[in-house]
Amino acid sequence: MIITPLFIILFSAVFVLVWVFANTIDKRKWVSFLISLVTAPIVYFYVFYPFINIFFSYHHLKHFNSDAWKAKPALRYEMSTEVVSDSLFIGKSKDEVQQQLGKSEWYSWDDSLKANSPDMWNYNLGFKPGAFNMSQECLELVFKNGKVTRVSQYQMEKEFE
């Protein structure tokens, strides 16, 4: 576990709340302190922390790794931030992209062609963690003259049966 300033602040707030609650049980300060010392970690890790994770979507970010991209498609969203923001594939050819990301999973619709365009590759990134997340993350690479010109990330509503 990494101890950060945010962790210390949140844990201290939980400790104070548990201590205030323990004071309603017994007015002796040393008993309230012992109750708080024992129950504050339990309340933090089994009540407060899971509750925060339900309502705030936080996920770990990882550096792009071609082997991890191909091996675990459901966790690609962890690498997508670097792929989009650092423009890792801008200017790369289709062969270079296919070597790094694998074969395109589907092509996007192009209104000018009235068909799916082989110059608009899409990859499934999986679902970001969260209790109320119903959107699947997707990555789109647009090619012009055989080179990537645009990389974008979008969300697609998923229907669960």
Radius of gyration in angstroms for the set of CA atoms belonging to the chain, rounded to a whole number: 24
What DSSP character marks residue 74?
Answer: G
Render each residue's pLDDT in the chain as its tens digit; 161 residues. 667 888 889 899 999 999 999 999 888 989 889 989 999 999 988 988 888 877 776 666 788 888 888 888 888 888 888 888 887 888 888 888 888 888 888 888 777 777 887 888 898 888 877 667 778 888 888 999 989 888 888 888 776 66
Secondary structure of residue 3 in the 3-state scheme = coil
**How is the chain split into domains, by residue range?**
5-55, 66-157
What DSSP character marks residue 112?
Answer: T
What DSSP character marks residue 103?
Answer: S
Residue showing tokens 């302190």 = 33
Q: C-alpha angle 134/137/142, rounded to 5°?
A: 145
Q: Which pLDDT score is estimated for 17?
A: 93
Are 157 and 132 contacting, i.e. CB atoms less than 8 angstroms apart? no
**The CATH classification of domain 66-157, taken from the options 3.30.43.10, 3.20.20.30, 2.60.120.960, 3.30.1450.10:** 3.30.1450.10
pTM of full prediction above 0.85: no
- Identify the CA nearest to 118 among candidates 99, 146, 152: 146
Question: In degrees rounded to 5, what are phi and psi of residue 3?
Answer: -90, 115
